[in-house]
Structure 1
Amino acid sequence: MPTFQILYFASASSYTGKSSEALPAPLPLSRLFPLLEERYPGITEKVLGSCSVSVGLEYVDIPDGPAAGNEVDERVIGEGEEVAIIPPLYDIQSYFQSSGWSFTQK
């Protein structure tokens, strides 16, 4: 079965209990959050609502609302691609601090 790799950082990793996993491809971008919600109930409200998403090295907007999935040119996550769920900077900073890292301002 064709798959793509999804990477979870900070609170996304804590919520899923994973740093990454393979998901079925192809997948329309508008189906990403609903698929994750099916696998991890509550993740949309508690984590995904404040996260950024990248496909490859490009940040993307997740389509939502009544028109989601109806766009003719909707982005589709293809086989072998890499998707990252990236929490806000303050979440990443607290994650690293809890792992023993320290941050200083210049």
Structure 2
Amino acid sequence: MSTLNPTPTFKILYFASCATFTRLPFESLPAPLSLRDLFPTLEKRYPGMTKRVLESCAVTVNLEYVDLEDEEVTGKGTDGEGMVIKEGDEVALIPPVSSG
């Protein structure tokens, strides 16, 4: 009897303009994924998303804001890959909000 091995995934939540651009409130993506590869992965899935939406978004992983410029988070300038989004994690993309 064979057992199905589902692909490990993480959940990504899209808010405001991100949801409008993707036409989805959320989706599951394969895990693990290096945080520095998140935006390029989304750009491949949704061409034009980086310039139109992602460049101004805040990012949370498991409800914690992450600084995408932090070398420890991205692994830029280091030998490591930085922060890795793991199976079961929840990532949110939060565009800037204005109030009037």
Fold equivalence (TM over 0.5): yes
- The equivalent position to 1:21 in structure 2, one of 15, 18, 27, is 27
Deviation, 1:72, is 1.9
Contact 1:63 1:69 in 2 (8 A): no
C-alpha distance in 2 between matches for 1:63 and 1:76: 15
* Equivalenced residues, count: 90
C-alpha distance in 2 between matches for 1:85 and 1:31: 14
TM norm structure 2: 0.81
Contact 1:30 1:63 in 2 (8 A): no
TM norm structure 1: 0.77
Question: Percent identity among equivalent residues?
Answer: 56
C-alpha distance in 1 between matches for 2:26 and 2:37: 18
C-alpha distance in 1 between matches for 2:81 and 2:34: 10
Contact 2:34 2:81 in 1 (8 A): no
Is 1:12 the counterpart of 2:14 in the alignment?
A: no
C-alpha distance in 1 between matches for 2:44 and 2:69: 17
Structure 1 gap segments, 5+ residues each: 94-102
Structure 2 gap segments, 5+ residues each: 1-6
Deviation, 1:24, is 0.3
